Amino acid sequence: MKIDGACHCGGIAYTAEIDPDAVSVCHCTDCQQLTGTAYRVSVLLPRDRFQITKGSPKTYVKTADNGHRRRQMFCPDCGSPVFTTGEDAGAEEIAIRWGTIRQRRDLAPTRQIWCASAAPWLETVAALPGKPGD
């Protein structure tokens, strides 16, 4: 599936060819802190299927709980996380942040990782009162 997307301010833009079944949710505490919310949703793909078409992201390198170093790529102006990649052999795969994808409504997660860190209230969210806008 061909997709395109951008950060919130539009300073970083990209195109990619993805497998729509490669969408995952990560509940690790690093993702919770880096997003400021309960979990992160990403689409995994080979690096050669991703191209930045506008701008240059800033990089923050973190070491995950499993010891792997991950390069967090984000917009230097609006701060939106855009994608991440590993180092060495891990650099051949990237994970695009779901919220930056223009076609995101068509991409549902197919797996979850680091579930031991998941917020205990997540399954109750669907039952909360809600409204279509604010």
Report the pLDDT averaged over residues 104-118. Answer: 96
Per the prediction, the chain carries an average pLDDT of: 95
Reply yes or no on whether the pLDDT at 134 is more than 90: no
130 in a structural domain: no
Closest CA to 41 of 5, 77, 89: 5
> How many structural domains does the chain have?
1
Instruction: Please identify which residue in the block is written with the tokens 């599936």.
Output: 1
Does residue 128 lie in a domain region? no
Q: Tell me, what's the pLDDT at 53?
A: 98
pLDDT digits (tens, 9 = 90+) for 61-94: 999 877 889 999 999 999 999 999 998 888 899 9
CA dist., res. 116 & res. 39, Å (int): 12
Q: Which residue has the tokens 């855009």?
A: 82
User: Is residue 126 one of the residues assigned to a domain?
Assistant: no
Task: Give Cβ neighbours of residue 102 (< 8 Å, ≥ 6 apart).
Answer: 3, 4, 5, 6
In degrees and rounded to multiples of 5, residue 64 shows phi and psi of -75, 165
pLDDT of residue 67: 85
Range of the structural domain that residue 80 is part of: 2-119
Residue 108 one-letter amino acid: A
**What was the pLDDT predicted at 89?**
83
Separation of alpha carbons 87 and 72, rounded Å: 11
pLDDT for residue 36: 92
Q: Say what the pLDDT of residue 111 is.
A: 97
CA distance 122 to 32: 13
Query: Is 124 part of a structural domain of the chain?
Result: no
Asked if residue 19 belongs to a domain, the reply is yes
The answer to whether residue 73 is domain-embedded is yes
For residue 17, name the pLDDT band (cuts at 50, 70, 90): very high
Helix H or strand E segment including 29: helix 29-35
With respect to residue 82, please indicate whether it lies within any of the assigned structural domains: yes
Query: Higher model confidence: residue 131 or residue 46?
Result: 46
